[in-house]
Chains A and B, each alone.
Chain A
C-alpha cells in the first residue's frame, strides 16, 4: 500500500522560500498525479497545483502562478513543492495528495501525506 511521507515542519522568514518533499513509500508514482493542497489555521482546503511525475508536466492554480514550482524525481518517487516570496498569509499546513490516474475526472485524492506545517514569521 502506497503511503505519502512528507518532510518536517519549517519556520521561514518573510520573503524567503520553502521546499517541501513528498515521497511515495511502498510504491512508485506510476500513472498517478500528485497535487499540493494547503490549509491555513482554522480554514478550509486550497488546491495549489499538481504534477504528472511520469511526464514531468505541472499545472498551477492562478493564485500561485509565478510563486510556486512543483517538481518530481521519478528515480526516488518524490515530489516537491517550492513556494517563494513567503508572507505571513502562507502560514499553513501543506499536504500532498495522489490521484490514481492521469485524469482526475471520475477519481479523487485517495492518498494524502501527513501534512507539513510551514510557519512564516519574522
Chain B
C-alpha cells in the first residue's frame, strides 16, 4: 500500500495567516491526490482533487500543488471556519490511502 505522511500533524495559526500543509507519498502517484477538510462530528469535505483542481464551491483561498511524491495544500488567508483537520488521499492505486491528518488550531 502507498503510505502518505503529512506534516505537520498539528499546526497553530491565527486568522489571516497563510498556512501550508505537506503530504509526501511513499512512491510516485502522479497527480492523483485529493485534500479533505473535516470538522468535529462531520463527514470529510472534498476541497481539492487531481492535486490542484478546486472542487466546486470551495473558496479560492484554498490551493493545491505538487506531483509525484510531494504535495502541498495552502490556505492563503485563514478564516475562522478553516480551523479543522485536513487529510490528503492518494487515488493512484488501490487501496486509496489517507494521510494521518493535520489538525489546524487557533493560536
Contacts and interface: CB of A to CB of B under 8 A. Distances in A.
* Chain A complexes with chain B: yes
Interface of A: 35, 44-47, 59, 61-62, 95, 97, 99, 104-110, 112-115
Contacts of A107: 49-50, 91
Nearest to B41: A115
Given A44-B98, A46-B98, A115-B43, A108 B92 contact: no
B89 A109 contact: yes
B43 A45 contact: no
Given A45-B44, A110-B46, A110-B55, A105 B91 contact: yes
B69 interface: no
Nearest to A112: B43
Interface of B: 30-32, 34, 36, 43-46, 49-50, 55, 87, 89, 91-92, 94-101
Nearest to B51: A106
Contact of A108 (B49, B95, B101): B49
A87 to B, nearest CB: 21
A27 to B, nearest CB: 16
Given A59-B94, A107-B49, 12 more contacts: A45-B44, A45-B87, A46-B98, A47-B96, A104-B32, A104-B91, A105-B92, A106-B50, A109-B46, A112-B44, A112-B45, A113-B43
B38 to A, nearest CB: 8
Given A106-B50, A108-B46, A47 B95 contact: yes
In the A-B complex, the 7 residue pairs with the smallest Cβ-Cβ separation, listed nearest first, are A108-B49, A108-B34, A112-B43, A45-B98, A104-B91, A61-B95, A105-B32
Contact of B44 (A104, A105, A109): A109
Contacts of A61: 95
Contacts of A97: 43-44
